[in-house]
Amino acid sequence: MELDPKSLEIVCFPDPILRKVAKPIEQITDHVHAVAMRMLELMHEAPGVGLAAPQVGLPWRLFVANPTREEGQDSVFINPVLINPSSKMAEVEEGCLSLPQVTANIRRPVAISIETLNLKGQTVQHHSEELAARVWQHENDHLDGVLILDRMSPIDKLANRSIIRELKRIATNRSGSSLRSRIPR
């Protein structure tokens, strides 16, 4: 029996699903389509500019994004592969829907290309030197079990220490309940 996409919610750290390497999607079904639509809904509600399947508790290589937050600019990336990162790097502040209130300056290539399947199963390639490049890298990290916690400087780790500790405390105090509940902001 397939999971009802309407039941999906954003998973918060330290849920173990966030540390697992996601598996490729073998077939783009109506269920995959429904999950992607629910993920876009959750991303907009949060509000955010990207959301990966592990962030809703699914070990799939899929993420959604809308770096502009403009209507009609939503994108779905299935089995994405990042290619041709630029050698020029930049450090920019990032946040994460699975780590509410945590922000850090993360160093990433300023430009990158991505090859992915769309919801029609077509292979498409995009290139960006803008926010989209950063969003793709951040969301692709989620597919590999990597969090901004793993990329932040020691100073940023120190600055976010109390928030991270609080997220762990909340998760521990949910005796018997799912870690996949939203953390109050």
Whether the per-residue pLDDT at 180 is higher than 80: the answer is: no
Q: What are the tens digits of pLDDT across the range 96-146?
A: 999 999 999 999 999 999 999 999 999 999 999 999 999 999 999 999 999
CA 94/CA 66 separation, integer angstroms = 15
Whether the per-residue pLDDT at 154 is higher than 60: the answer is: yes
Q: Is 167 helix (H, G, I), strand (E, B) or coil?
A: helix
Long-range contacts of 16-19 (CB under 8 A, 24+ apart): 17/54, 17/57, 17/58, 17/59, 17/180, 18/54, 18/55, 18/98, 18/142, 18/145, 18/147, 19/145, 19/147
Look at residue 174 in the predicted model and tell me its pLDDT: 73
Domains and CATH numbers, the chain: 5-173 (3.90.45.10)
Catalytic position from the list 26, 41, 139, 166: 139
Q: What are the tens digits of pLDDT across the range 86-95?
A: 999 999 999 9
Look at residue 123 in the predicted model and tell me its pLDDT: 98
Amino acid letter, residue 105: N
Look at residue 107 in the predicted model and tell me its pLDDT: 97
Mean pLDDT across the stretch 152-169? 95
- Averaged pLDDT score across all residues of the chain: 93
Look at residue 181 in the predicted model and tell me its pLDDT: 43
Q: What are the tens digits of pLDDT across the range 7-45?
A: 999 999 999 999 999 999 999 999 999 999 999 999 999
139 is catalytic: yes
Percentage, residues of the chain above pLDDT 70: 94
- Contact in structure between 89 and 109 (CB atoms under 8 Å): yes
Q: Buried b / exposed e across 99-115, counting CB within 10 Å, b at 16+?
A: bbebbbebebbbbbbbe
Pure H helices in the chain: 30-45, 131-143, 148-151, 154-173
